[in-house]
Amino acid sequence: MSLTREKILNGWIEALVARSGEGNALGDAERRRSIEATLRDCDPGRDLWLFGYGSLIWNPCIEFAERRPVRVRGWHRNFCLWTHGGRGTQERPGLVLGLEQGGSCRGLAFRIEAAKLEVELDIVWRREMVTAAYRPTWVALSDGVNRFRGITFTINRAHERYTGKIDEARVIETLALAEGDIGSSRDYLFSTVDHLRVLGMDDSRLGRLADAVRDYRRALLAEGRPGKGDEEAAAALVAASAGS
């Protein structure tokens, strides 16, 4: 089930959070205060850039005037946030990406027109800041020629769903098996890898992780231990093997 603009505006994410026990969703007043605090140093009447490094790349759900491939230095994407509803369950939590300090990260910058900021940022905050697992952060963006500022969402290390350091073997197993109301953790990974590749921004670490997740699922199928959704997965893996 894909996330849509309409679902976000209709409170679907807040309801999902309530069902999954992921924590208390920010109320309307808290959300407005967070947006206002983030925009405090912005010049009123100016367009704003939003940096996407995960699902925002391939499913932004916002209206934007322009998008550009960019790089952010000082931050790297990492599977560091547990999800118990969107891409996992309480019994088998999934993982989604966050930005952690160090290194660099390539993604897409979306320019939101000033006249649409109130509506579009409300959508972004309802999506990314539903439980304050991220921190809205101003970062320097570069498209190779120009440098400009934009907002992105970095991981909140104080949040209960922050993973801390976890073994790669556990990351692979989690991504391979976890599924929730929005979809599976593996499809989140595969979509991010595929769209980065199409944009000419390959992330080698995510690419290796995607290969490892596919290998893990092939091994499960070979052992006759398919999990949820593996009937479709088996057919896809057979087709992929035949074409390789």
Question: Which tokens go with 199?
Answer: 């944009």
Domain count within the chain: 1
Q: Is the pLDDT of residue 166 over 50?
A: yes
Q: Is the pLDDT of residue 178 over 80?
A: yes
At 243, is the pLDDT very low, low, confident or very high (cuts 50, 70, 90)?
Answer: very low
Q: Provide the CATH number for the domain around residue 235.
A: 3.10.490.10
- Measured between alpha carbons, how far is 76 from 97 in angstroms, rounded to an integer? 10
pLDDT in tens, 35-52: 999 999 888 889 999 999
Q: Is the pLDDT of residue 68 over 90?
A: yes
Contact, 104 vs 74, CB < 8 A? yes
pLDDT in tens, 210-241: 999 999 999 998 887 655 544 444 444 434 33
Question: What is the pLDDT averaged over residues 167-180?
Answer: 97
Q: What angle do CA 46, 51, 54 make, to 5 degrees?
A: 155
Q: Which domain holds residue 134?
A: 5-242
DSSP assigned state of 149: E
Question: What is the pLDDT averaged over residues 53-68?
Answer: 97
Task: Look up 128 and say whether it is catalytic.
Answer: yes
Q: Is the pLDDT of residue 135 over 90?
A: yes
The residue from 63, 100, 120, 128 that is catalytic is: 128
- Measured between alpha carbons, how far is 171 from 31 in angstroms, rounded to an integer? 31
> What is the torsional sign of CA 182, 186, 190, 196?
positive
- Measured between alpha carbons, how far is 200 from 240 in angstroms, rounded to an integer? 22
Contact, 49 vs 110, CB < 8 A? yes
| Cβ atoms within 10 Å of 61's Cβ, excluding its own | 19
DSSP assigned state of 184: B
**Which pLDDT score is estimated for 225?**
63
- Measured between alpha carbons, how far is 206 from 112 in angstroms, rounded to an integer? 28
Q: pTM for this one?
A: 0.89
Q: Is the pLDDT of residue 90 over 50?
A: yes
